[in-house]
């Protein structure tokens, strides 16, 4: 009986430490995240594709960024179970070069005013 109790205690402690480790890896709801990717404009919203995931850009309704590589800083969200970011700041990393110009400019815009 003593072995069973010790085993159960060990398993409970192991589970508790695992949960703490997983929670430490997840971003806090209060912390801003940064995503670098290409902006995609679709009928159901504006998204950023970071190469691993596509995130809905909440609070962004300006299609001028479509096709540009940008850095977005904002709050991590889930909208209908899909990843999203509530955009606070967007910076253009690489513009499509205009005729006679080179790319690689950086412009920051704070959309919160």
* Domain assignments of the chain as residue spans, ordered by start: 32-110
pTM of the model: 0.61
- Rounded to an integer, the average pLDDT of 29-45 is 89
- Rounded to an integer, the average pLDDT of 81-95 is 91
What's the pLDDT at 112?
54
Residues paired with residue 69 on neighbouring β-strands, in sequence order: 38, 94
How confident is the model over 39-86, as pLDDT tens digits?
999 988 999 999 999 999 999 888 889 999 999 999 999 999 999 999
Residues 91 and 39: their CA atoms lie apart, in Å, by 11
Identify which has the larger pLDDT, 25 or 6.
6
Q: Judging by DSSP bridges, how do beta strands 32-42 and 45-49 pair with one another?
A: antiparallel
- 3-state class of 96 per DSSP? coil
- Rounded to an integer, the average pLDDT of 14-25 is 56
């Amino acid at each position: 009986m003593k072995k069973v109790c010790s085993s159960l205690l060990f398993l409970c402690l192991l589970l508790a430490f695992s949960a703490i480790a997983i929670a430490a890896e997840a971003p806090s709801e209060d912390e801003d995240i940064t995503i670098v990717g290409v902006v995609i404009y679709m009928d159901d919203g504006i998204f950023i594709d970071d190469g691993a995931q596509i995130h809905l850009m909440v609070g962004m309704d300006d299609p001028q960024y479509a096709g540009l590589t940008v850095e977005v800083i904002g709050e991590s969200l889930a909208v209908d179970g899909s990843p999203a970011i509530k955009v606070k700041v967007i910076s253009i990393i690489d513009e499509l070069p205009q005729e006679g110009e080179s790319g690689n400019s950086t412009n920051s815009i704070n959309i919160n005013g």
